[in-house]
Amino acid sequence: MPKDKKSKLITGDILRSSLPGAFAKLNPRYMMHNPVMFVVEIGFVVTLLLCVWPNLFGDEGGNLRLFNAIVAAILLITLLFANFAEAVAEGRGKAQAQSLKKTQKDMQARILSDDGGETILSAGMLKKGDMVLVKAGELIPNDGEVIEGIASVDESAITGESAPVLKESGGDFASVTGGTMVVSDCLKIRITANPGESFLAKMIALVEGASRRKTPNEIALNTLLVSLTIVFLIVMVSLYPMALYSGVRLQISTLIALTVCLIPTTIGGLLSAIGIAGMDRVTRFNVIALSGKAVEACGDVDTMILDKTGTITYGNRMAARFIPVGNTEERELIRCAVLSSVQDDTPEGKSVVELGGRLSGEYQEAGPGMEFLEFTAQTRMSGVNFPDGTGVRKGAPDAIVNYVRELGGAIPQDLGSRVNEVAKLGGTPLVVCAGERILGVIYLKDTIKAGLVERFARLRAIGIKTIMCTGDNPLTAATIAQEAGVDSFIAECKPEDKIKAIQAEQARGKIVAMTGDGTNDAPALAQANVGIAMNSGTAAAKEAANMVDLDSDPTKILDVVEIGKQLLITRGSLTTFSIANDIAKYFAIIPAMFMAVIPQMGTLNIMALSTPYSAILSALIFNAVIIPILIPLAMKGVRYKPMHAEKMLSRNLLVYGLGGVMVPFAGIKLIDLVITPVLTALGL
C-alpha cells in the first residue's frame, strides 16, 4: 500500500464512537447474532444474579458473593472487549464515510443548456444525461464521461493518490468520478449516474459496512464455533451431576468460568471485526467491492480471465513507427501522415501527430482552405484536401488501395509485405497516400499497460492461471499474449465465448475472476465468481460486476486476491490460536475445581498456580485481555506471502498453534503472580 494511504488504526474520533458502541451492543437482541458471545452474556447474567442471591442454586456458603462479583465483572469486560473490536472496525468505516460525505456537501453544478447557456444548480438535482461544465478549482458534481476538453483532475478524495490524472474525451481516461476536483483547464462532462447511484454514494454505503451480509466461509466458521460451544455446554451440564455423584460440589460460577474459557471466545469476539476490516482494506486499495462475498471469493480464485482491449492494453492504438514503401523518403511519409491527422481528435490521430513531431522536429499546423475529412465506417479512411485540389489520406490498407486504384495510381510491390509485417507484430497498419501515390504504412501498436508482465508472473506464482480474451485474429492475439505474459488466450472471442470459457472453468471446480471494461464484457462479469470492472469502462460493465477498480488497473486483481487470502488466513490463524488457548486454560481451571477434594489433581497444576480462586480468575482475565491485544492483528490481517498451502498450514500451526499453547501458560502464570496478593487480602 502506498505510504500516503496508511492511517492510524484507532484515532481519537474512532475511540470516542467505539466506546459507547461497545455498551450499546450488549443488547441481547444484537448479541444473539454472535452465539459464542451470547453464551458469555448469559454466563454474566447468571453470575450477576449469584452476587445478589448466592444461594440461588443451593447453599454456596462462605464469601462467594465477592468471588461471583469478580467473575461477573471479568465476564462483562470480556463482552465489552469483543464488542469494542467490532465497534472499532465499524468506526473506521464510518469515519471514512463521514470524510467522503464532506465531499458531497454543497456541491454545485454548472449545467449547460441546448442553447449554450449556463445554470447553477445543486449537484443533487443532476440526472443522467445532463451536460455540465467544470472549471479549474471546482468539484466534479457526479460520475460522468468527458466529451470535450483536456484537464488535470485531483482524484485523491476517492483514490488517495496525490498525483493529478489527465482526463480527456475518448479512451481509458474519459471516465470521471463525482467528488474529484479539476485542477487545471476545464471539462465538458456528460453525467452518467442519477443522484444516489454514483460510485461515491456506493462507496459511502460500503464503508459504513455495519449491515454487510456474512460470507459463506464466515458462516461455515461461525457454524464450527457454535458447534464447539454446544459441545462444551453439554460437557459442563453433565459435569455438575457427575461431580455431585463423586462427592464434589462444584460452584456455578466456576462452571461458568470454565465454559467461557473453553468455548472459542477469542475468535468469537474478533470474527466480525476481521470481516469488516477485510472490506475496509479492499476499499483503501481503491476498489469498490459491492459484496463481502466477492472479497472472500478472491482468496480462492484459481483462474483469471481478462479482456484485452482496455484491460491488458490501453485500448487506444498508438502510432509507434512510420514505414515507407517504394522509393518514398521517411520524412515525406511523416509530413503527409501528420497533415492527415492535424485535426483528428481520436487518440490514434493525436499519437500520429505527436510521434511525427518527435521524429521530424517539425509540427504541422492547419493551413487556410484545408478541408478535413473525418473517418467513417463507409470510407474507412480520413484525411485532408488542399486548396489546389490535391489531398492526403490515411486508412485501412484495402480502402486506401481501392482509393488509389480508382485514381489510376500504382501499388508499390513491397506494400503487402510491410502491412503483413505490422500485422504479425500484433499491430494495426494504416496506409498513407498523397493523391494517387502510396507513401507508406503507420504502425499502430496496441500498447500493453505497464507492470503487467511482473504482475502476471506473481499471479502464476500463487497458482492463478491467466487467460486473455480478444476479438483479434489468432496471430495478433498470440503476439499480445506473449508480450503480456498470460498463460493462454482465446482469439476471435465473442461475448458468448467468454461466458463459455468461464462456465468451463467453473465446471472443473475452479473459482473464476473476470476483469473487463466494455458493454460486451458485462455478461461474463456477471457470470464470474468475481467480476472486476475498470472505472474507465462502460456503465453496463460496472453494473454487472461485483467490484469496480477506481484506478482502472487490471493487475489490481493481485492486490484483491492477496486481501482475500489474507482475510481467510487471518480467520484461520486466530481460530487456531483461540482453540489452542484452551489447553492452557484447561490446566488452569480443571485442577482448581477438584484439588480441594481430590488432592491428587494437584499433579495437573503444572503452572503452580497459587489457589483455586487465583487459577480461575487468572484464566478468565487472560481470556478477556487477549481480545483487545489481538485487535490490531484482526484489523491489519495476518501477513500473506505466496507459498504452497501445505507450507502455509505448517507455518500457521507452528506460529499460532504452538503460540496459542505457550502464550496462555506464560500469561496466566503472570496474572496469577499479580492477583494472588490481592485475593489474599480479600480473604479468597
User: Could you give the residue numbers annotated as active site?
Assistant: 307
Other Cβ atoms less than 10 A from the Cβ of 416: the count is 13
Query: How far is it, in rounded angstroms, from Cα 625 to Cα 506?
Result: 44
Kindly give, in sequence order, each residue whose CB lies less than 8 Å from that of residue 460, ignoring residues fewer than 6 positions away. 466, 487
**Among all chains, which residue has been given the C-alpha cell 458485462?**
522
Please provide the size of the chain in residues.
684
Contact 550, 564 (CB under 8 A): no
Q: Is 517 annotated as a binding residue?
A: yes
Other Cβ atoms less than 10 A from the Cβ of 282: the count is 24
Q: Is 379 annotated as a binding residue?
A: yes
Beta strands in 301-387 (DSSP E): 303-307, 313-324, 371-373, 381-385
* Alpha-carbon distance values, 487 to 306, 401, 468, 483 (Å): 11, 38, 8, 11
Other Cβ atoms less than 10 A from the Cβ of 189: the count is 30
Query: How far is it, in rounded angstroms, from Cα 469 to Cα 671?
Result: 61
Q: Is 394 annotated as a binding residue?
A: yes
Q: Is 253 annotated as a binding residue?
A: no
Angle at 656 between CA 652 and CA 658, to 5 degrees: 105
- In the chain, the amino acid numbered 226 is V
- In the chain, the amino acid numbered 615 is A
Q: Is 175 annotated as a binding residue?
A: no
Q: Is the dihedral of CA 338, 339, 341, 342 positive or negative?
A: positive
Rg from Cα positions in the chain: 34
Q: Is 348 annotated as a binding residue?
A: yes
Instruction: Give the cell for residue 6.
Output: 496508511
Other Cβ atoms less than 10 A from the Cβ of 156: the count is 15
Q: Is 378 annotated as a binding residue?
A: yes
Q: Is 44 annotated as a binding residue?
A: no
Instruction: Give the cell for residue 598.
Output: 481430590
**Among all chains, which residue has been given the C-alpha cell 511523416?**
334
Q: Is 375 annotated as a binding residue?
A: yes
Q: Is 114 annotated as a binding residue?
A: no
Query: How far is it, in rounded angstroms, from Cα 679 to Cα 4?
Result: 50
Order the strands of the 186-191 sheet from edge to edge.
Answer: 118-122, 108-112, 131-135, 186-191, 144-148, 175-176
H helix intervals, 508-611: 522-527, 539-544, 556-594
> Which stretch of DSSP H or E encloses residue 178?
none
Beta strands in 101-173 (DSSP E): 108-112, 118-122, 131-135, 144-148, 150-154, 165-168
Q: Which residues pair with 120 in a beta bridge?
A: 110
Q: Is 156 annotated as a binding residue?
A: no
Query: How far is it, in rounded angstroms, from Cα 100 to Cα 368?
Result: 51
Binding residues for ATP: 344, 348, 375-382, 394
Binding residue numbers: 344, 348, 375-382, 394, 517, 521
Binding-site residues from annotation for Mg(2+): 517, 521
